[in-house]
Amino acid sequence: MIKLFTYFAQAGLSFGIFTPEEQAFISSIIDDILALVMALAIASVAIVGPMLLRSVQKKVETSHHASQWELLATIATFAVKSAQQTIDHENKTLKFDYAYKIVETMAQKNGIKFMTEELGRVLIESAVHTIKKDTPST
């Protein structure tokens, strides 16, 4: 329902159906909806994060000579898959922010102190490429 409303409002804004006051009001509602989605995404990381962290740690601990880089790559792959499944919206920035928040939170919980947004971006882009490569085309 929210998605339908957002598309309707954006179409109305694009075609000039609404007055400037209505456009401002609808734009603020769209911004509020996107902010709410982001807040829910961040909250889900805080709630589900510890469980996910244990499963990721267990996977990395079972592999031989696991380094912090392997841990970060595993976390980033999980974060991208989670963002793709959780956020039903075409906004790539929103998906990146969600995935980065997972990577950042889980890296901090693992004591990785050299995490930066640029490193997060590289990890996430690499994970996206790996997922696309590993996913059979239909």
Q: pLDDT digit string (tens) for 14-32?
A: 666 767 777 777 777 777 7
Per-residue model confidence as pLDDT tens digits over 118-129: 777 788 888 887
User: What is the reported pTM?
Assistant: 0.46
Q: Calculate the average pLDDT of the chain.
A: 70
Residue 57 lies in a domain: yes
pLDDT of residue 122: 81
Q: Which pairs with CB-CB distance under 8 Å and at least 24 residues apart come from 107-113?
A: 107/72, 107/75, 109/49, 109/50, 109/53, 110/53, 110/57, 110/68, 110/71, 112/68, 112/71, 112/72
* 49 is a domain residue: yes
Token duo for residue 107 = 């890296």
Does residue 63 form part of some domain? yes
Q: Residue 124: which domain range?
A: 40-134
Please state the domain count of the chain. 1
Domain assignment of residue 77, yes or no: yes
Please, which pLDDT band fits residue 11 given cuts at 50, 70 and 90? low
